[in-house]
Amino acid sequence: MDVRRRLFTTVRTPAGEHFKTQKLNHNHRDTPRDSFLPLYLTNAVFFGLFFSLSYFLLHRWRNKIRTSTPLHVVTASETAAILSLLASIIYLLRFFGIAFIHTIGTRAATLNDDKVHSDEIEMNEEESALALPKKIVIEDEEIVNSVVSGSIPSYSLESRLLDCRKAAAIRREAVQRLTGRSLEGLPVEGFDYESILGQCCEMPIGFVQIPVGVAGPLLLDGKEYTVPMATTEGCLVASTNRGCKAIQASGGASSVLLRDGMTRAPVVRFATATRAAQLKFYLEDPLNFDTIAVTFNKSSRFARLQSIQPAIAGKNLYIRFRCSTGDAMGMNMVSKGVQNVLDFLHSDFPDMDVIGISGNFCSDKKAAAVNWVEGRGKSVVCEAIIKEEVVKKVLKTTVEALVELNMLKNLTGSAIAGSLGGFNAHASNIVSAIYIATGQDPAQNVESSHCITMMEAVNNGKDLHISVTMPSIEVGTVGGGTQLASQSACLNLLGVKGANKESPSANSRLLATIVAGSVLAGELSLMSAIAAGQLVNSHMKYNRSSKDASKVVS
């Protein structure tokens, strides 16, 4: 009997980081890729058999029906065709993932292998842990080797194994062997990989741990919020927390949502600039807006077209659509609506050539003047009056020093630098930390951090009026990463988890105002630290660890 035998050894590289499992004995029958024909030819043969035999049998049975011949009466050729068809079906099922037959055989062979070679294979627990990560057992070696050799695409592991955690572990081991680099320290256990399948991250090999701190309470519009912030920068949470303390001690902050609308701007091309201008005039005509809006709004229950802003460049036309999106951030929603309108316009403008659904006039994930001037997502202004005694006792500076520093740093300094929407101290810090904690798209931090910070002495120069104006905060409380367990918990902490059933878009709008309020706190604290000369000392104290990182165990 042909016994399946496989012996492995663990080889350690000089660097001590990478381990390879080598095959020492080949006295077994391998997978179809080791057959006489190349894999692609073998597959082609069985595919050809399957379809040709299916056609042959259907043709013969149709003739029997026409001639009233009983179907159970089969000839020798029909019998051979049926058997060959079954053989091709078994092969195709086995190869393309429905491998219960193969699994039973593999398990039986593995049991035999364990009995025969119980004295030959001896690996202590330490070597086993180094050679293979947890849950990667000997029976999975064939899959790992197939991924390494390229015969099984890494991206197909989830669909083949029907086990997302196991797929991540096998992919991780394959990456280590292919790169010769250890991934020790990158955790793979303890994460729900099912929750990201097909929507958040492809080909996962683990997850990154980012600590989450809380700042607050932030007293905003008469309510208190404890703000979660995911960051690896020391002092950031503490600084924002100090700003929240100063705001609360002064009676709180207030916010106003100025505008709420996500944008998408496709680019279309015509044969001439004159023809492009005709579409521009058509879109700008108020009489046509209602018809276009009806077409656009079919894409979703929450999508409502607000405006159309066309811009022409030669024979190319850029059309910036703006719409409300409920509690979702809304990129997919607005894109579907735009596609509906483009299909509708083709009837009147059949010569219109759609170059791209996005022509960067949107503008998404890029610093752009159109977002700074026109806004994108939620446009919010947030303000507070900080009392003189709070400025002195909590912030350790003076109103006069803060006003002067804001003018020379945030306004004049940013103007000299040619800044676009960057008239602030560090709005991006707070926006990024809250975005990561609550499952927003971190890349949209680019335009979401557009902010101008204003400071002015009020009440006869005693108190400080501070405000932040942020025209393009792009957030949502449903969809994307917001549904992951950790991010969902952070949204729940703020009281904005999921969709607001009573008032659609209320949760996402509230989240945007909380972001602006947190930025206000962060701006107030950092500017005070700079004005008081505390910035360097605080970072040297809290942002420089004296621990030996190599000895820290996760």
Q: Which of 127, 141, 383, 441 is catalytic?
A: 441
The separation between CA 439 and the C-alpha centre of its own chain, rounded to angstroms, equals: 8
- 42 Cβ contact partners less than 8 Å away, ≥ 6 residues apart: 32, 35
- Show the tokens assigned to 484: 């992951």
Q: How far apart are CA 325 and CA 333, in angstroms?
A: 7
Instruction: Assess contact for 433 and 229: CB atoms under 8 A.
Output: yes
Q: What's the number of CA atoms in the CB half-sphere (13 Å) around residue 426?
A: 21
Give the distance between the most distant pair of CA atoms in the chain.
107
Helix or strand or coil: residue 314?
coil
Dihedrals φ, ψ of 377, to 5°? 75, -130
Q: Is the dihedral of CA 371, 224, 486, 427 positive or negative?
A: positive
441 is catalytic: yes
Distance set, CA 536 to CA 39, 205, 426, 542, 547 (Å) = 63, 38, 15, 10, 20
List of residues 6+ apart from 55 with CB closer than 8 A: none
The beta strands (E) that lie in 240-399 are given as 254-264, 267-269, 304-313, 316-324, 353-356, 377-386
Give CA angle at 125 (124, 126), nearest 5°.
Answer: 95
Are the C-beta atoms of residues 381 and 467 closer than 8 Å to each other?
Answer: yes
Q: What CA–CA distance (Å, rounded) separates 472 from 259?
A: 9
Distance CA 164, CA 95 (A): 20
- Catalytic-labelled residue, pool 233, 383, 388, 456: 233
Would residue 539 show up in a list of annotated catalytic residues for this protein? yes
Q: CA 260, CA 379: separation in Å to the nearest integer? A: 6
As given in the structure block, the two tokens for residue 60 are 């013969």
Taking a C-beta distance cutoff of 8 angstroms, is the pair 525, 246 a contact? yes
Phi, psi of 360 (to 5 degrees): 70, 10
Active site residue 192: no
Q: Is the dihedral of CA 302, 308, 312, 317 positive or negative?
A: positive
Say whether 374 is catalytic: no
State the catalytic residue, choosing from 18, 102, 465, 539.
539
Neighbours of 89 (CB within 10 A): 15
**From residue 166, how far is each of 10, 269, 336, 364, 529 by CA, in Å?**
22, 48, 35, 35, 49
CA distance 423 to 27: 71
> In 3-state terms, what secondary structure has residue 241?
helix
Closest CA to 84 of 37, 48, 32: 48
Q: Which two tokens stand for residue 551?
A: 């000895």
Catalytic residues: 233, 365, 441, 539
